[in-house]
């Protein structure tokens, strides 16, 4: 298993997509945070928000990196299906597909942790770099630390989630498209009209971890249980499909 883990970890830095994806996450985060902060001064003057709340937002929305981590996980698997390398990977694993899934989950989670470190580092600096430019002094509170921790955890968890989606779909286009459409379209749209259902969806449940302010979200411990249930369900489905379908 050690050799298999070493091999899969080495694959995480093959190609350039592992470098390009965090740049996308940072760009999305920067656009969102700049937009929020640029409009915040008016809200503070009107008394509808506070410097502490704006500081939280300037940290919270670097959670955009979680989509990059999920796409990395999906591409980490599906690129091997697209190139035909997956057959060799299964041979190297001794023909044990379950071991290969586990090794890829671990390797992708390590990379997801790297994305999370980058996201939280930028998130911690962003209030001090951006807010003073708009005449707002950051106000860092205990809750801001909790938001920062949530950004880290969500980014780490998204990598194995992407791996499992990749095992299920086997297609780079389908897996990435599914992750993007579900995260940015389907889940927010459904939640808007049926919040009691939407809060149990995976990325909406993740919102609870970085203390999103929407009132209908699950408490943190409930959200952790929901995310664990989604990961378990995706793993069971991926395992079932992997053993029932041909490798290629």
Among the residues of the chain, which ranges form H helices? Answer: 2-11, 17-38, 40-46, 51-60, 65-83, 86-92, 97-130, 142-169, 172-181, 187-193, 195-198, 202-209, 220-244
Confidence (pTM): 0.91
3-state secondary structure 5-20: HHHHHHHCCCCCHHHH
pLDDT tens sequence for the chain (248 residues): 777 778 777 777 877 888 899 999 999 999 999 988 888 877 787 778 889 999 999 999 999 999 999 999 999 989 888 887 777 777 776 767 788 888 889 999 999 999 999 999 999 999 999 999 888 899 999 999 999 999 999 999 999 999 999 999 989 999 999 999 988 888 888 888 888 888 999 999 999 999 998 888 999 999 999 999 999 999 999 888 877 776 65
DSSP 138: -
SS3 216: coil
How far, in Å, CA of 198 to CA of 226, rounded?
A: 12
Domain ranges within the chain, ordered by starting residue: 1-244
């Amino acid at each position: 298993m050690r050799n298999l883990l070493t091999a899969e970890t080495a694959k995480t830095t093959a190609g350039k997509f592992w470098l390009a994806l965090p740049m996308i996450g940072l760009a999305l985060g920067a656009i969102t945070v700049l937009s929020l902060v640029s409009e915040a001064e008016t809200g503070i003057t009107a008394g509808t928000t506070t410097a502490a709340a704006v500081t939280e937002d300037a940290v919270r929305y670097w959670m955009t990196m979680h989509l990059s981590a999920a796409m990395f996980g999906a591409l980490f698997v599906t690129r091997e299906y697209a190139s035909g390398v997956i057959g060799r990977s299964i041979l190297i694993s001794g023909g044990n597909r379950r071991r290969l899934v586990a090794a890829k989950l671990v390797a992708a989670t390590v990379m997801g942790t790297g994305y999370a470190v980058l996201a939280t580092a930028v998130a911690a600096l962003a209030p001090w770099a951006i807010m003073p430019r708009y005449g707002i002094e950051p106000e860092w509170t205990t809750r801001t630390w909790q938001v920062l921790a949530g950004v880290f955890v969500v980014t780490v968890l998204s990598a194995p989630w992407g791996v499992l989606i990749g095992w299920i779909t086997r297609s780079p286009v389908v897996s990435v498209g599914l992750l993007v459409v579900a995260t940015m379209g389907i889940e927010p749209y459904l939640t808007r009209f049926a919040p009691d259902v939407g809060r149990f969806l995976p990325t909406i449940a993740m919102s609870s971890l970085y203390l999103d302010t929407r009132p209908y979200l699950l408490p943190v411990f409930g959200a952790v249980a929901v995310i664990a249930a989604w990961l378990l369900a995706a793993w069971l489905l991926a395992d079932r499909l992997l053993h029932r379908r041909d490798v290629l």
